[in-house]
Structure 1
Amino acid sequence: MICGRGTIGGKGRSLLFALRQLRDSGDEQMSRTKVPRSIYLSIEIFHQFLERVPHLDTLLANNDPQEIERVFLETPLPQAAGMYIRTFLADMRDPVVIRSSSRLEDDVKHSFAGKYLTNFLSNNCGGLEERSVAVENEVRRIYSRTFFPAAADYRERHHLGGDDMGIIIIRMAGRWRGRYYYPTMAGVGYSQNFRRWTTRVKQDDGLVRMVFGMGTMSTKRGYARTVSLTNPILRPEGFSPEKISAIAQESFHVIDEERPNQITTLDIKKEWKQLLTYHPDFAAYAQIYRCDDGEGCFFQIMKNMASLSPGTKVCFTFDSFPRIYPDFYKRVKKTLKLLENKMGVPADIEFAFEPTEDSFCLIQSRPFWSNNHLEGGIPELSQRQILLQADRMVTHGAIPQITKIVYVDFNRYYAQRDFYGTARLIGELNKASDGEPYILVAPGRIGSSNPELGVPVQYSELTNCRGMVELGIPRLGFMPELSYGTHFFSDLEVDGVLYMPVFAGEDRNIFNADWFESKKWEPWCDNPAIRVYRGSFAAYMDGESNRGVIIDKDMGETD
């Protein structure tokens, strides 16, 4: 159902387009693809709402986000919107998702990933009026985000002008399992793999990044399983049980009826017994990891297990999933290729899946922008010039001249434990750069939501960064990860920021620690973990050969 005239915004428009293409595909499996029950508020409703906001021009001119949100929350929605919302909720007690769908969202280049707002409501407390008011409040909250700095700065940076907000209100994919509501698995998929972890994987193969539980876990730089759609056995992290267990998902997102209107994170160590009750195929997703005398190995979970033995843990490896559900990958690949052909550009989807029912639910579909057309290639170099070298997942492109490298010393960062303080100081350094570009080298996952995995810096704090190197230090738990589907990587793609991961100590990877220790550097704000190196540097990355290097150009002059 659509309330109002005019466009329903980018997300809504793209989702309905994808559904129509799948239904008309002539393929029985793709035609069974579901889209959650939804209603759409067009941008006409948004403009009718703005007409009701008192002293709107003055409010927006003051540019106070908290005051904008307060006034918007006190302003009633148009009557038609309220009626649509009440009709939608009348016979439904499942959780709902209220999503932004602005006019500019999900176009070919600018996805606005993470710039607006998506909210989840449990929708199972109180009567119809109370539940409807809760949804109306979230609609107004999303309306206010149109004028918040995150979106306004993004539009200004990309010369996009103003925006108009549509809304999608969706029954959340999944079901109640006891007190928790979630889909069995969810994630994101791409028709093209622009950052391959091995030459055995082709760009055209496509990939998925999937998690157990709600897909919100896959849009953050946390743990997820990344899979090539034509070779799902291959792992970016390799086949070592130690490495697999180190980056395997150990928690998942749900809606908890006892903690309404928020996403709850559950620890698999505490929940695995009841998960066996609700998921007879649980062995397809999870395994038990044990380490004996330095040797790690995995075991299957058995239904008759009473408890975990000491020194073991449960984690989501999806190790048996390709064997038990091989058609899943074929289905996703078909879906992505169809959408790519119909849109004329690479496709990007969000999905939820109930494997035991073969029920595939499309949650979002949009064009997948990539700057992969940037000129890349690596010139002749002397070995002593190379500061960092990667052998997988590199962006295709080059920065032939840059004068600054910002380096986060992993030993200091780990020892001082001031994770968020370090992240904010990097943001201040970026701001003080006054437009001067730099390459950032940091341990683990830059922009991680979990500071134990890497520096939790926000993308908005890296506006002058032109290249990122994630440094893998296994002994400290810092491991880069191919985080397709995250808002962070969507921004990297749009802005053409080069990226490569370096796994210290691995073959064909170089981390020139002697250079970083001997080269003169500048401290930043008395934080010993942050170093600034100045000189003549360059970055060269070749996506075809899967090799990337950062070099000190001055080192070659003395050869």
Structure 2
Amino acid sequence: MTLDLNSLPKIVRLQLRIRQYPILGKKIRDKMLKELFNRGIITPNQMDQEVVEKSIESQQLDGQNKSRKKEPDEVWKLRTNHVRDYLTEFYFAYNLPMTAFDTIINELVDNQDKPTSNVSGINYNPEMAPLDLLMSHGEQIEALEKQERQVFEHHLQEIKVVAIKTILSDRLEFIGTAKNWFKISDLFHILNRRYGTGKIGGKAAGIELAKIMMQSHDSPTRDVRTPLSYFIATDVFEQFKDINNLSWVMNQKYRSPEEINKLFPKIKRDFSQGNLPNTIQNELKQLLIKHHKQPIIVRSSSLLEDSYGTSFAGKYDSYFCGNQAETDDNLYELSQAISKIYASVYSPDALIYRKKMGLLDYDERMAILIQVVDGEQYGDYFYPPIAGVAFSKNQYRWTPRIDPDQGLVRLVYGLGTRAVNQTTDYARMIAMSHPNIRPESNTNSIIHYSQKKIDLINLKSNKFQTKLISSSLNGNLKWLRLIAEKKTDNYLSNIIVNNPGIESDSLVLTFTELIKRTDFTTKMKKMLQYLSTHYGSPVDVEFTAKIEYEYDKPQISLCLVQCRPQSLRITNNPPKIPSYIDKSSVIFKSKGIVRDAHIKNIKWIVYIPIKQYDTMSSYSSKTNLARVIGRINHILQDENFILIGPYRWGSNNPDLGVKVTYADVHNSKMLIEVMPETKAKSTEPSYGTHFFQDLVEANIYTLAINLKAEGSFISDSLSSNYTNMLSTICPKDSRFNDQIKIYNITEHNKHHTLNVIMVSETEQSIGFINTNN
């Protein structure tokens, strides 16, 4: 039986014809739409209005209007594109002859390989137009000669803005910078590496923008590399929750802190059992085959991440995948990493941070950034020789000679995780203005505060591992003498010649010769200055580096893996310490480099004395103490209070400091780390870690009181003048009465409060009871 096409309605005949050209279909409809506009059958504004009306009607038909959940932008865009295609076919079929359609087909087929530059018909609303139509027109404008292109430059700017909002980020401060750098060809290159149809998120957008900046023809940083990156768009996050029946987590952000903590383990379990959409799994499988045996890192890239003032540093997880096993096994490991990152959107730390920053009501969606790890293989291990984090503004100076405007680097051997995470280890702090001036004052301190462990990928076990540096450092590494020195008794000496037989246990990571004999600091300063200038803001970057040799001269090859605006605390009016303070009212004094600050009207002090903390012998009891701090933080959320306690807060090891997270301290006004008069377990500042960045963004001030420094002390008047309120405020934790002191400064007089003043010029800090009404 033969179907008589002439017996079918015109629109059906047209649709059947279009479907004969599955590849050209989009271009055919674009030509049809242009023909409708040119002949005045419908105007662009009329089409846009009808698309919106019909799209809303379609929402009603499929029940979307009954849902209280707003339709994601990606779904709405898909809906309007379908409606626009149908309306184009409808108006064309009933207003133009089939010969007009044949003309369009013939032109497209005959000109398949010929570039077109006819952009005079751009008379539609770019916000409503399909992305591929926008990109096509943008590409045509950019291909024009300079003089002809000027006529359409305003169209190009709007096209780029809409494309950036659709593909990268809709944050206005990002768009304002990005539109001046991205070309349409750059955006096409991103689309070629994107899985899904949504945005690629803040972290991915940041590294792509930095890459374009550094590749500029007049950039002094053109030799800086970036890792090959791929993106799983935000719409996949929504699909993942839908197909795995996980939509119940949507209201998690509005639960109480107790409920959020209680439910998060279940969320992690449920997400880990979920499956990615089949199409995404197939695409990721091809990615793993393409990069087989190359380790990758799976990173979060949410819509809110790495924005101005809200970096979300450390809130969402990242995972290394060795990619050394069979493809299906590698795919399972990659899928698990992605599901863990998806789950971290609902973690207590992330949700409390969002609430603190006023972002709780924002529809946070997660994209994924997959990067090929930059590094080299050394035996069974894979890692970069050096990596770290750098800041174009140095907010921690250990001598007045340091220029804060030239930046700071936290440098480590191996993967950069040890530079950004609050571990029990140490990174080398390098002030870019004076790279040879160390924070440590003597050889013993240099040895004590040197890096002891390395993070790497074990290619044999296909796992991320942490190992002692002695297990990987050896005399066969050509660059060994650049990063390490030999320890003999309490003396450090340069390694003159690499010796395969050198004892690994005698090596200390100092990076002294790297700084002296290579262009590392020069290249780093150039990169920081260039990026911060063109970002219009100080920047915070993560990097890796290879050490290559040219005629036996070491050369540094930098690789930028992340770039975002740096979180800063700015004081416009430097404070001064009053001369009339009564000595008996002083609670503490400190001498050392600080930022200007005046914190007023503090009514509560939560204090953990060092001696009492050190008497706690078990790991679990110190960990439980940190959880008590979290509960106190919640109880005092509406009060002005500060935290004072031993060593480095936020440490992963409770023996080296109070093991709190951002969620345990976010309501405080200030956190004071106290170092004892005896040899400190950890006096390296927290600066540069994700934990420190959290405090800066939350406007929580920090101070380190080194009791060994002349004139520094904490007064005994706290315990003698005030009652410990722990048992009253938190009765179920009264067993910690000896270790945790909670003092109400208004106990004896409702007008009494604690004031803290920190003065950078004199390097002095003081906390005193203000007895003025």
Superposition TM-score, scaled by structure 1 size: 0.90
Q: Which moved more, 1:9-18 or 1:530-539?
A: 530-539
For 2:594, what is the secondary structure of its paired residue?
coil
CA–CA separation in structure 2 for the residues paired with 1:306 and 1:421: 46
Q: Which runs of 5 or more structure 1 residues have no equivalent in the other structure?
A: none
Equivalences for 1:368-407 in 2 at 5 Å? 368-373=566-571, 375-381=573-579, 382=581, 384=583, 385-407=585-607
Number of aligned residue pairs:
541
Instruction: Mark the CA change 1:479 to 1:388 in structure 2 (over 3 Å): closer, same or farther.
Output: farther
Matching residue of 2:392: 191
Instruction: Mark the CA change 1:170 to 1:515 in structure 2 (over 3 Å): closer, same or farther.
Output: same
Instruction: Mark the CA change 1:341 to 1:516 in structure 2 (over 3 Å): closer, same or farther.
Output: same
CA–CA separation in structure 1 for the residues paired with 2:389 and 2:626: 27
2:591–2:709 Cα contact (<8 Å) kept: no
Matching residue of 2:493: 299
2:663 counterpart of 1:460? yes
Equivalences for 1:99-498 in 2 at 5 Å? 99-125=299-325, 127-160=326-359, 161=361, 162-221=363-422, 222-237=425-440, 239-261=441-463, 263-272=464-473, 275-277=474-476, 279-291=477-489, 296-301=490-495, 303-304=498-499, 306=501, 313-325=506-518, 327-356=519-548, 357-373=555-571, 375-381=573-579, 382=581, 384=583, 385-417=585-617, 418-473=621-676, 475-498=678-701
Shift of 1:317: 1.9
Shift of 1:228: 0.8
Shift of 1:190: 0.6
CA–CA separation in structure 1 for the residues paired with 2:535 and 2:769: 42
2:482–2:514 Cα contact (<8 Å) kept: yes
Matching residue of 2:78: none
Instruction: Mark the CA change 1:55 to 1:441 in structure 2 (over 3 Å): closer, same or farther.
Output: closer
Instruction: Mark the CA change 1:259 to 1:513 in structure 2 (over 3 Å): closer, same or farther.
Output: farther
Shift of 1:548: 2.5
Q: 2:755 aligns with which of 538, 541, 544?
A: 538
Per-residue displacement from partner, 1:12-31 (whole Å, max 9, x unpaired)? 00100000000105245x11
For 1:405, what is the secondary structure of its paired residue?
strand
| Equivalent residue letter for 2:702 | Y
For 2:631, what is the secondary structure of its paired residue?
helix
CA–CA separation in structure 2 for the residues paired with 1:243 and 1:518: 36
CA–CA separation in structure 2 for the residues paired with 1:98 and 1:451: 28
Instruction: Mark the CA change 1:298 to 1:457 in structure 2 (over 3 Å): closer, same or farther.
Output: same
Per-residue displacement from partner, 1:236-260 (whole Å, max 9, x unpaired)? 23x3112222221111111123443
| Equivalent residue letter for 1:358 | I
For 1:380, what is the secondary structure of its paired residue?
coil
Superposed CA RMSD: 2.6
Give the number of the structure whose residues are more often strand, by fraction.
1
CA–CA separation in structure 1 for the residues paired with 2:586 and 2:594: 16
Matching residue of 2:194: 2
| Equivalent residue letter for 1:335 | M
Instruction: Mark the CA change 1:148 to 1:424 in structure 2 (over 3 Å): closer, same or farther.
Output: closer
Q: Which moved more, 1:225-234 or 1:419-428?
A: 419-428
For 1:119, what is the secondary structure of its paired residue?
strand
2:250 counterpart of 1:34? no
Instruction: Mark the CA change 1:15 to 1:304 in structure 2 (over 3 Å): closer, same or farther.
Output: closer
Per-residue displacement from partner, 1:280-335 (whole Å, max 9, x unpaired)? 221222224455xxxx43233464485659xx85331222221122x211211111
| Equivalent residue letter for 2:645 | A
Q: Which moved more, 1:511-520 or 1:335-344?
A: 511-520
Instruction: Mark the CA change 1:517 to 1:245 in structure 2 (over 3 Å): closer, same or farther.
Output: farther
For 1:193, what is the secondary structure of its paired residue?
coil
Give the number of the structure whose residues are more often helix, by fraction.
2
Instruction: Mark the CA change 1:289 to 1:390 in structure 2 (over 3 Å): closer, same or farther.
Output: farther
Per-residue displacement from partner, 1:470-529 (whole Å, max 9, x unpaired)? 11226343333233331101111111111111221223x511354456444416423222
CA–CA separation in structure 2 for the residues paired with 1:88 and 1:55: 27
1:452–1:477 Cα contact (<8 Å) kept: no
| Equivalent residue letter for 2:507 | V
Shift of 1:111: 0.9
Matching residue of 1:54: 245
| Equivalent residue letter for 2:646 | P
| Equivalent residue letter for 2:430 | V
Per-residue displacement from partner, 1:262-291 (whole Å, max 9, x unpaired)? x3111124443xx322x2221222224455
| Equivalent residue letter for 2:340 | R
Shift of 1:461: 0.7
2:669–2:700 Cα contact (<8 Å) kept: yes
CA–CA separation in structure 2 for the residues paired with 1:233 and 1:452: 31
| Equivalent residue letter for 1:185 | I
CA–CA separation in structure 1 for the residues paired with 2:243 and 2:203: 25
2:764 counterpart of 1:547? yes
2:224 counterpart of 1:44? no
2:209 counterpart of 1:11? no
Instruction: Mark the CA change 1:240 to 1:414 in structure 2 (over 3 Å): closer, same or farther.
Output: same
For 2:669, what is the secondary structure of its paired residue?
strand
For 1:416, what is the secondary structure of its paired residue?
coil
2:589–2:714 Cα contact (<8 Å) kept: no
Matching residue of 1:90: 289
Shift of 1:130: 2.2
For 2:354, what is the secondary structure of its paired residue?
helix
For 2:405, what is the secondary structure of its paired residue?
helix
CA–CA separation in structure 2 for the residues paired with 1:189 and 1:58: 36
| Equivalent residue letter for 1:316 | L
2:475–2:501 Cα contact (<8 Å) kept: no
| Equivalent residue letter for 1:208 | V
Per-residue displacement from partner, 1:372-407 (whole Å, max 9, x unpaired)? 236541231447244333344423322122122222
CA–CA separation in structure 2 for the residues paired with 1:8 and 1:493: 27
CA–CA separation in structure 1 for the residues paired with 2:720 and 2:245: 62
Q: 2:708 aligns with which of 501, 505, 527?
A: 505
CA–CA separation in structure 2 for the residues paired with 1:386 and 1:520: 14
CA–CA separation in structure 2 for the residues paired with 1:482 and 1:241: 18
Q: Which of 1 and 2 has higher RCO (CA within 8 Å, sep 6+)?
A: 1
CA–CA separation in structure 1 for the residues paired with 2:384 and 2:521: 18
CA–CA separation in structure 1 for the residues paired with 2:570 and 2:249: 43
Matching residue of 1:526: 735
For 1:355, what is the secondary structure of its paired residue?
strand
| Equivalent residue letter for 1:206 | G
2:268–2:343 Cα contact (<8 Å) kept: yes
For 1:276, what is the secondary structure of its paired residue?
coil
2:481–2:498 Cα contact (<8 Å) kept: no
Instruction: Mark the CA change 1:197 to 1:58 in structure 2 (over 3 Å): closer, same or farther.
Output: closer
Instruction: Mark the CA change 1:25 to 1:106 in structure 2 (over 3 Å): closer, same or farther.
Output: farther
Shift of 1:434: 4.2
Shift of 1:209: 0.7
